[in-house]
Structure 1
Amino acid sequence: MAASVFKAALLSRFNFPSSKYWFQVNMNTLTLVAVFALGVMFTCIVSIMTLYIQKEISFMEVDRTKEDLIANRRKILEKSQKFVMVPGESQLSVGDTELSVDPAAYLSPAAETSKKKNKDANTLEALGALHAAVEMQKSGKHSKALKLFSHALALDPEHPDILNHYGEFLEETERNLLDADYHYSRALTFSPNHMRALENHQRTSPIVDELDNSLLKRIDQKRDDLLNTPDSSSGLRRIKKEAYFQYIYHTLGIEGNTMTLAQTRTIVETRMAVGGKSIMEHNEVLGLDAALKYINSTLVHRIGAITFEDILEIHRRVLGFVDLFEGGRLRSTQVFVGNHIPPGPSEVQLLMKDFVRWLNSAESLSQHPIRFAALAHYKLVYIHPFSDGNGRTSRLLMNLILMQSGYPPVIIRKQDRAKYYDYLQQANEGDVRPFIRFIAHCAEQTLDVYLWATTEHRTSIAELAQEDDGKTIIVDQQNCCMGG
C-alpha cells in the first residue's frame, strides 16, 4: 500500500508519462534516426557508384581511343601495301628471310622536314626538265627530249604529268604503244583523276589488248606445230635433255647460285660434288632436280585441280636438301623484304586458301594458259607464303600450268633477271600486263628453240650450251633426266 502511494507521488512529482506513451515517443524518434541513417548510407553508396562509373567510362574512352588508333594504323598499313613496289632481286633471293629495315621509318622530325624539302626540290627540277623536254619534242630534237624525259623521271618517277607526257612522247615519236600505255596506266595509279592520262589510256588500251592477243595466237600456232613433232624425233629428245640442265642453271642463277652450267650438269648427272662451291649451292641443285621430277612424274598428267597440298609438295622438294624443317611449311614469322612487307603469318593460311580457290575457279581456267600461268606466278610470289624458295616454287607452278596445256615449260634466263624483277615491280604497282607479256615472250622464245632444234637438217644443238646466246629452255619429258 505504501509502495503504491510512493509510486503515485513520484509520478505526479516528476510528471513521467505512462510506459505506453513513452514507448510510442521513443519509437518515433528511433524511426527518424534510422531513416536518416539509411539516407546517409544511400547517398554515400550513390556517390561511390557515381565515381566508379565515371572512372569506368574514362577507361572505356581511353580503350576506344586506342582501338581507333590501331584501326587507323591498320588502314595506313593496308594502303601502304596497296601500291608498294616489289624490290629488286632480294625479293626472291635465297637469303630473303633477312630483316631489312627502311631507315626512313626512324627519321627524326628535322630529318623528315629535310627529306620533304629535298623531294620538293627534286619535283621542281623534274618539272623544269619536263618543260624543256616538251619544248625539245616540239622542235623536233627527239634525242635531247628523250634525255630530258629520262632525267625528269629519275628525279620524280611518280609524278603523273611527267609519266603522261613521256607516254605521249613514246607514242608519237618512238611509236612504242606498249610502253606508252604502261606510262598512262602508271600515271593513273598515282592520280586516278588525271584526265589527260585517262583519255590516253582509254584510247591505247584496246589497241594494246589486240596486240597481246595477236602475240598469244602466234604462240599457240607454234605450240601446235611442236605438238605435231613425233616423240621419236632425235632432235626433240636431245633438246629436252639439254634444256633440263639449263632450266636448273638459270632459275637458280636468278636466286644467286654461282654454279656454272657445266657444274650444274655434273651434279645432276653424277650426284658428285664439284670443287669451290658451297654445300648450300649443291643442295639447291639437288632440290630443284627433285621438284622437277616430282612435277613431271606426278602432276603434269594428272587430271583434276591443283591443290594446296600440291604446292606444299613442290616446295618441300625445292628445299628438301636445304632445309628439311621449312620445306613444305608455311612461314610462321613476319618477314621484311626491302621496302615490301608481305602479309603477316596469321594471314598466309587464309590467303593461300583463297589463292587455291582462284587457281581452280572457272574464271581462271577460262583465261589463256599463258596469262593464267603468269598471274599464278605473280600472285604466289606476292603472298610470299614460305620463308625461302618462293620464286622457285612460283616458277615451277607456272610451268606446271603451261605443261598441262601442251606448252613446253618456259625459262626466265639468268641474264634477264633485271627485266624479271622490273616487270614484277610494275605488276605490284598496279599493271600486271607487262609481266604477262614478258612471260609470253619467254614462252615464244622457248618454242622457237624447240622448233629450231627439231628441224630435220639440224644435227647439233651446240648453241644451246652457250650461257648468253638467248636460247634456253627446260625439259617437260618424263624419260629425260626426270625419273623416267
Structure 2
Amino acid sequence: MINDAVINWWRAQNIQTKDDLRNALENFSIVFATNSNSIEGNRLTYHETRDIFEGKDVSINEVSVREIFEAQNQKFAFESILENFEKKEPLSIRIISQFHRVLMSGCYDSTIWSRGERPGHFKKNDYTIGMQEVGAFPDEVENEIKDLLAEINSWDGDVLLAAAYFHARFENIHPFADGNGRTGRLLLNYYLLLQNYPPLIISTEDKNVYYLALEVYDRTEEISGLKLLLEEELNKTWQSKVNKSMKKRLNKLNSF
C-alpha cells in the first residue's frame, strides 16, 4: 500500500517549473537511468552513469559504445521530461515518439536499421516477445496507442492503478522495434509527474518480479500485481528522503 506521507511530502514542495523539478530529481535521474538501463542489460554502474551525466570521461574497456550512448540518452531524456512537464503537456503520440527518439538515438543495431526501423517511429515489422508472443501488428500500433492514450488521459481515478495499466498495456502493444521497456518506464514517470505524484524507480534487483507482473498482464489482463510493485517501488524510492525531512522538521520544532 502506498505511503501517504510520500505523496504529501512530494506535493508540499509545490513543484511547478522545470527548475523546481530538476532540483527535486537531481540524484533521482541518475539512479533511475542506472536501473532502467541495467534492466535491459547495460553494465554501467551508478558512479559511471553519474560521470556521464556530469560530462566526464568514462573508460569503455569494460562496456560497449552503445552502453555509453544509452546512459547519455537517459540524460537527454530527463531534459525532455523537464521541458514537457513545465508545459504540462498530456501524454500523446508526439511525447511517446520524442522520448523514444531521444532514448534510442544511436542505439539501433544494423539489423534493425536495415529493416527500415528508426528511433522515434513506430515499428515497420512484426516483433513478438515473451512467452505470450505479445506485440501489436505494425499496422495496428498507431490506433492501439491512440486508444490507450484516450483511456489514460480521461481517467479520473486511482493514479497508480492507471499508471500500472498504462505501462502494462504499452509494453503489451510493444510499439517500437527496440527500446520499449526504457521508453515505457520513462512514460510511466512522466504520467505520475503530471498527476502530482513523485516518479519511481523499478530497481534492477526487482527485475524478475517486474517481468512476472507484465507476463501476468499479458496472459490475464490482471494488473494488481504490477500496481502492488509500483506502490512498493514508490515507497522504496522516496522513503529515506521523507524520513530525513520529517526528522529535520521535528528537530526544528524541538529547538523552540
TM-score of the two chains, using structure 2 as the length reference: 0.83
Q: For 2:177, which of 372, 376, 387 is the aligned residue?
A: 387
Letter in 1 for 2:84: L
| Alpha-carbon separation, structure 2, partners of 1:413 and 1:246 | 9
Confirm whether residue 251 of structure 1 aligns to residue 36 of structure 2.
Answer: yes
Confirm whether residue 398 of structure 1 aligns to residue 182 of structure 2.
Answer: no
Deviation track 1:267-298 (CA, whole Å, cap 9, x = no partner) reads 111252323211000000111111111011x2
Q: How does 1:66-105 map to 2 (within 5 A)?
A: none
Letter in 2 for 1:397: L
Contact 1:267 1:274 in 2 (8 A): no
Contact 2:164 2:227 in 1 (8 A): yes
Q: For 1:308, which of 65, 72, 93 is the aligned residue?
A: 93
Match of 2:119 in 1: 327
Q: How does 1:27-426 map to 2 (within 5 A)?
A: 215-216=1-2, 219-229=3-13, 240-276=25-61, 277-296=63-82, 298-323=83-108, 326-339=118-131, 340-361=133-154, 364=155, 366-426=156-216
TM-superposed deviation, 1:328: 0.5
Deviation track 1:372-430 (CA, whole Å, cap 9, x = no partner) reads 11111111100000001101111111101111222221000011101111111122222
Contact 1:408 1:446 in 2 (8 A): no
Letter in 2 for 1:285: A
User: For 1:334, what is the secondary structure of its paired residue?
Assistant: coil
Q: Which has the larger radius of gyration?
A: 1
Letter in 2 for 1:265: R
User: For 1:373, what is the secondary structure of its paired residue?
Assistant: helix
Identity %: 25
User: For 2:150, what is the secondary structure of its paired residue?
Assistant: helix
Structure 1 residue ranges without an equivalent (≥5): 1-214, 459-484
Letter in 1 for 2:231: A
Deviation track 1:182-229 (CA, whole Å, cap 9, x = no partner) reads xxxxxxxxxxxxxxxxxxxxxxxxxxxxxxxxx34xx33431134335
Distance 1:457 1:238, change over 3 A: farther
| Alpha-carbon separation, structure 1, partners of 2:12 and 2:54 | 30
Distance 1:390 1:230, change over 3 A: closer
User: For 2:240, what is the secondary structure of its paired residue?
Assistant: helix
* Aligned length in residues: 234
TM-superposed deviation, 1:238: 8.2
TM-superposed deviation, 1:258: 0.6
| Alpha-carbon separation, structure 2, partners of 1:238 and 1:377 | 26
Deviation track 1:140-171 (CA, whole Å, cap 9, x = no partner) reads xxxxxxxxxxxxxxxxxxxxxxxxxxxxxxxx
Contact 1:259 1:281 in 2 (8 A): yes
Q: CA RMSD in A?
A: 2.4
| Alpha-carbon separation, structure 1, partners of 2:193 and 2:90 | 14
Contact 2:192 2:199 in 1 (8 A): yes
Deviation track 1:49-100 (CA, whole Å, cap 9, x = no partner) reads xxxxxxxxxxxxxxxxxxxxxxxxxxxxxxxxxxxxxxxxxxxxxxxxxxxx
Q: Which one has a larger percent helix, Structure 1 or Structure 2?
A: 1
TM-superposed deviation, 1:359: 2.3
TM-superposed deviation, 1:301: 2.8
Letter in 2 for 1:327: P
Match of 1:445 in 2: 236
| Alpha-carbon separation, structure 2, partners of 1:237 and 1:302 | 14
Contact 2:91 2:153 in 1 (8 A): yes
Distance 1:229 1:299, change over 3 A: closer
| Alpha-carbon separation, structure 2, partners of 1:317 and 1:373 | 22
Letter in 2 for 1:274: S
TM-superposed deviation, 1:457: 5.0
User: For 1:429, what is the secondary structure of its paired residue?
Assistant: helix
Contact 1:287 1:322 in 2 (8 A): no
Distance 1:301 1:371, change over 3 A: farther
Contact 2:88 2:194 in 1 (8 A): no
